[in-house]
Amino acid sequence: MFPSSGSRRLLLLIRRSGAAAAAGGTNPLQPRALLGHYYSPTPLARSTNVDTTSYLVASGGLSPDAAAVVSRWVRIRSTAKADDVLALLRHHGFSSAHIAQLLRKAPVILITNPEITRPKLRFFDSLGVGATVLAQSNVLTSSLNKFLVPCFEFLRGIVGTDANLRTAFSRKPCSLRGLVQKKLRPAVENLRRHGLSDEAISKLVVLNMGVLGMAPNRIAAIFEDLEALGLPLTDPRFVRCFAHGHGNIQRKLLFFQDELKIALPQLIAVPRIMTFSMEKNILPKCAVLSLLMREGKIQRGINPLGRLLGRLGLSAKNFSESYVKKYEKDVPDVVRAYEGKLKFEGCSLSGGSQPKILTFNLEKNILLKCAVLNALMKGRFGETSAQSFGCVQKVFTERYVKKCKKDVPDAVRTYEGKIQFKGFLDQGIEIR
């Protein structure tokens, strides 16, 4: 049971409501008693309802397009009653933005009797869970006494405190709807059978309570993947990686280790990366970073592994702003790379020097560049670096041939192969 007085009052309310229904009265917590005034059981034709759409835009804060979609799933027959719902939500701290977000997730809330929704809001108030979290899912459409109260009571028994319970739910409110009450206890027992202690299970549920909704074979596969990669149950990082174990963990870890040369301890230190999809997130990011490094737009710098993990760990929005939109004018292919149209074929993102050089044709690329750079050095155009060789031909032509052809005419002839490269000047070329 929850220790807070708010929770005890709420449970008392539920019991009294049940007693009233048993005595022949109307139980305000039972949907059938009141939904008939708001909702027609006849399935809606999946077409836009103009009046509902207009209301959702004017009062619900939705865009016309979003309102048109929502109106296919809910039909408002009384704007006055819908106004009562919005007033109730605002009373419990929902801003206009929260309401718009909630209506996209759970439009049926707008045609549900406020007296059904009110005790749910009080329940979450007693836990310290506010509008910002509730607006992210359709949890307010769940039954209070048949699902929310027993489910949260069970979860509290696992995580130990209201603070942990609040953290667990707030991290991923949508995952609550994926839990089946009768399967919660077997899920915990399954984790214990695999060797996790109660303390570890508690931490796991706080990090991702959705693991309690995973199928037994999925849980077994995660244990096998992590153990096969040398991460023992006793390692505290085991729980963090397990919590973020969406998709094939072993495939991701092997990719980071074999392709990017990132050691397991370094990777485990940033467990969020393990939540990302290989095809939709990790590989496109790698393709973008690899392209920008080849073009000399970004450098590995000091602590290359740390920089790489930091870049890969960015959210999709932040990564796009920092590496796609920022460079799309200078490197148009960066957009195609992020869209998955240019595949990441592997290179040493985490260290080493210009791996792309090894793919260049010796006669048609490398020797021509050497001849040009040698001519420029004879003309005392200063030092150069290994990056010069890594430029694509278009960039190299702009940077070294066209820019210097007036002062060093031989730059053009050497790049055309008319003057052969026979070795650098005695002072050599500086490799940095």
Please state, in angstroms and rounded to a whole number, the distance separating the CA atoms of residues 247 and 299.
31
pLDDT for 263 equals 76
pLDDT of residue 302: 45
Q: Residue 430: enclosing H or E segment and its boundaries?
A: none
- Averaged over 7-30, what is the pLDDT? 44
Tokens 């699902």 — which residue?
A: 147
Kindly tell me if the per-residue pLDDT of 331 is higher than 50: yes
Read off the tokens for 204: 């796991």
In the block, residue with structure tokens 């796991």: 204
Rg of the chain in Å (alpha carbons):
31
Specify the pLDDT at position 41: 36
Higher pLDDT, 103 or 226: 103
Mean pLDDT of 39-68: 73
Mean pLDDT, range 2-14, rounded to an integer: 45
Residue 374 CB contacts under 8 Å (≥ 6 apart), including other chains: 414, 421, 423, 424, 425, 429
Q: Kindly tell me if the per-residue pLDDT of 84 is higher than 90.
A: yes
Residue 424 banded pLDDT, cuts 50, 70, 90: low
pLDDT band at 370 (very low <50, low <70, confident <90, very high): confident
Give the separation between CA 399 and CA 179, rounded to whole angstroms: 60
pTM of the model: 0.57
Q: Which residue has the higher pLDDT, 429 or 337?
A: 337
Q: 205 pLDDT band (50/70/90 cuts)?
A: very high
pLDDT at 104 over 70: yes
**Coil, helix or strand at residue 232:** coil
Could you give the residue ranges of the DSSP H alpha helices within 379-431? 387-390, 393-396, 410-415
* Nearest residue to 70 via CA among 41, 101, 115, 114: 101
pLDDT tier for residue 240 given thresholds of 50, 70 and 90: confident
Top-confidence residue, 160 or 38:
160
Predicted local distance difference test score (pLDDT) of residue 17: 43
Which of these, 196, 247, 195, 197, lies nearest to 221 by C-alpha position?
A: 247
Residue 143 pLDDT exceeds 90 = yes
Q: Tokens for 246, please give them.
A: 């969406």
**386 vs 186 pLDDT, higher one:** 186
Range with the lowest mean pLDDT among 43-47, 136-140, 274-278? 43-47
Between 371 and 164, the more confident residue is 164
The predicted pLDDT at position 22 comes to 44
Q: CA nearest 187: which of 155, 160, 165?
A: 155
Predicted confidence band of residue 159 (pLDDT cuts 50, 70, 90): very high
Average pLDDT over residues 17-45: 40
pLDDT above 80 for 314: yes
DSSP 258-299: IIS---HHHHHTSGGGGGS-IIIIIHHHHHHHHHHHHTTSS-
Give me the DSSP letters along 158-177. Answer: HH-SHHHHHHHHHH-GGGGG
More confident call, 300 vs 265? 265
Q: Which residue has the higher pLDDT, 408 or 217?
A: 217
Q: What is the 3-state secondary structure (H, E, C) of 243-254?
A: HCCCCCHHHHHH
For residue 12, the tally of other CB atoms under 10 A from its CB is 10
How many CB atoms within 10 Å of residue 345?
A: 10
Name the 3-class secondary structure at 340. Answer: coil
Higher pLDDT: 346 or 325? It is: 325
Sequence spans of domains, the chain: 5-140, 177-271, 276-352, 357-415
Taking residues 78-106, report their average pLDDT.
94
**425 band by pLDDT with thresholds 50, 70 and 90:** very low
Rounded CA separation 377/381 (Å) = 5
Mean pLDDT of 373-384: 57
Q: Burial code of 85-96, b = ≥16 C-beta within 10 A, e = fewer?
A: bbebbeebebee
Q: What is the pLDDT of residue 23?
A: 46
